Amino acid sequence: MSELKEPKPQYDGSVVQPRLLVTETERELQNLLKVKSRAARKVTQPLATTVDPIAWVTDGEHSRKTLKLFDDVSQVYELLLARMEFLSLGHDLSLLRRRAAYFEEVDGEKSDHFFLSAIRGKGQIGHSNQYLTHWFYPYKGKYHGQMIKALINFMGIGEGGLVLDPFVGSGTTLVECATLGIPSIGIDINPALCIVSQIKVDSLGIAYPDLQRELAKIKPLDIFHYFSQKPEISKKWFLGFNQLNQDANLLLAQAWEQQFSDGFVKELPDTWRNLLFLCYLHALSDHTYLQSTNKAMPFEQFFLRDLNEYLDTLSGTHRVLIDRHLQICPPKVLFGTALELPVPSESIDGIITSPPYRNTMWKVLPFVS
């Protein structure tokens, strides 16, 4: 296999280039963790007993008494991101508690991120990187929400700012901005991913008790059969996608109009029926991807399992958003191309994205400007 090469930056000198903060302490930390052989790894003490991560992250300003990182934060890049978000928000501990991605406790109180990541649901089994609707639809090229949240914090963008992700994929950046109350725009050349992004952010705003009441009247298998009547998306649907800069909501409306026959699912409010559609697509992906493995199951069983897990996520998220007074800021999702961005110049406060590099490793690393 040929060696990985970092792509050469394309920007000119007038653009501020993203730079991680490399300090002597960080080098020491990296050396400390750079243990190659398995035997050596075994004898290395856990990080927590060799250095105090909080002292490092905060340059000695705080100790474990006032700040606590999540227990699963152990990689050097995570500590760096925690340090970066502390640099940006640490002057105001209540702001840090509300926005931080890597801190479990701030000044003796649990952070908002603690409550969000405590929810169990789709893809959520207790890791601080598993929260919100990030695990709806298994898109392999996405990056980590937690990392993106810390980078947004580091960029210092607040509720009055505007964030752009010109290669938005499955909407990770938008889900984070929406929950932090920051306006955002996402653009992608793949209409299916525009739809996935739109549904993932819209689902955050679903009033779960209302949805639950409605679903109690419907058999989940009837929902499955409703979508199964349309096993293939016809070519006609894709003809609607030849016009750039269309809002993903319009694509969705068009899909429902052209592809789905009337019936009880079509009659549901848009965000509900779109959520059920995404769940069906998720089950379809699981079913096809896992069919020759020992995790294979009938399609409808995947649907029932995924639906339960989606609803768990929505129920928990709805509760936490209310309890923590978090307001969702709806983003704009556009089917378009990064080569002709439909945004006025000087209108964007920060760009955060992962471009479509051929090699997977670069695909999942974010670029920040």
Ligand X SMILES: C[S@@+](CC[C@H](N)C(=O)[O-])C[C@H]1O[C@@H](n2cnc3c(N)ncnc32)[C@H](O)[C@@H]1O
In the complex, the smallest distance separating the C-beta of residue 65 from ligand X, rounded to whole angstroms, is 36
| Sheet with 332-335, edge to edge strand ranges | 246-247, 332-335, 184-188, 163-165, 350-353, 367-368
Cβ-closest position to ligand X: 169
Is residue 188 near ligand X by the rule CB under 6 A?
yes
Which residue's CB is nearer to ligand X, number 138 or number 356?
356
Cα 239 to chain centroid distance, Å, stands at 29
Site size with ligand X, rule: CB under 6 A: 20
In the complex, the smallest distance separating the C-beta of residue 139 from ligand X, rounded to whole angstroms, is 5
Is residue 169 near ligand X by the rule CB under 6 A?
yes
The tokens of 231 are what?
């096993």
The sign of the dihedral angle between the CA atoms of 307, 308, 309, 313 is: positive
In the complex, the smallest distance separating the C-beta of residue 204 from ligand X, rounded to whole angstroms, is 15
In the complex, the smallest distance separating the C-beta of residue 289 from ligand X, rounded to whole angstroms, is 17
In the complex, the smallest distance separating the C-beta of residue 253 from ligand X, rounded to whole angstroms, is 21
The tokens of 159 are what?
């509720």
DSSP state of 99: H
Which residue's CB is nearer to ligand X, number 104 or number 286?
286
Is residue 135 near ligand X by the rule CB under 6 A?
no
Is residue 176 near ligand X by the rule CB under 6 A?
no
Which residue's CB is nearer to ligand X, number 58 or number 117?
117
What separation in angstroms does the CA of 245 have from each of 143, 174, 182, 256?
Answer: 24, 17, 21, 19
Give 358's contacts (C-beta < 8 A, 6+ positions apart).
none
DSSP state of 133: T
Which residue's CB is nearer to ligand X, number 58 or number 130?
130
- Choosing from 128, 170, 274, 317, the residue that interacts with ligand X (CB under 6 A) is 170
Which residue's CB is nearer to ligand X, number 112 or number 176?
176
- Choosing from 247, 363, 367, 369, the residue that interacts with ligand X (CB under 6 A) is 363
Distance CA 177, CA 162 (A): 9
Distance CA 68, CA 46 (A): 16
Residues 332-361 that bind ligand X (CB under 6 A): 337-339, 354, 356
- Choosing from 118, 189, 218, 284, the residue that interacts with ligand X (CB under 6 A) is 189
Instruction: Give the count of alpha carbons within 13 A of 285, CB side only.
Output: 12
In the complex, the smallest distance separating the C-beta of residue 29 from ligand X, rounded to whole angstroms, is 28
Which residue's CB is nearer to ligand X, number 4 or number 43?
4
Give 172's contacts (C-beta < 8 A, 6+ positions apart).
134, 142, 143, 144, 145, 148
Alpha-carbon Rg for the chain in angstroms: 22
- Choosing from 172, 271, 274, 317, the residue that interacts with ligand X (CB under 6 A) is 172
Q: Quick one: how many helices (H) and strands (E) in the chain?
A: 17, 9
In the complex, the smallest distance separating the C-beta of residue 202 from ligand X, rounded to whole angstroms, is 16
In the complex, the smallest distance separating the C-beta of residue 117 from ligand X, rounded to whole angstroms, is 18
CA dihedral 334, 339, 258, 255 (to 10 degrees): -40
Which residue's CB is nearer to ligand X, number 69 or number 157?
157
What does the binding site for ligand X look like in residue numbers (CB under 6 A)? 139, 141-143, 166-167, 169-170, 172, 187-190, 193, 337-339, 354, 356, 363
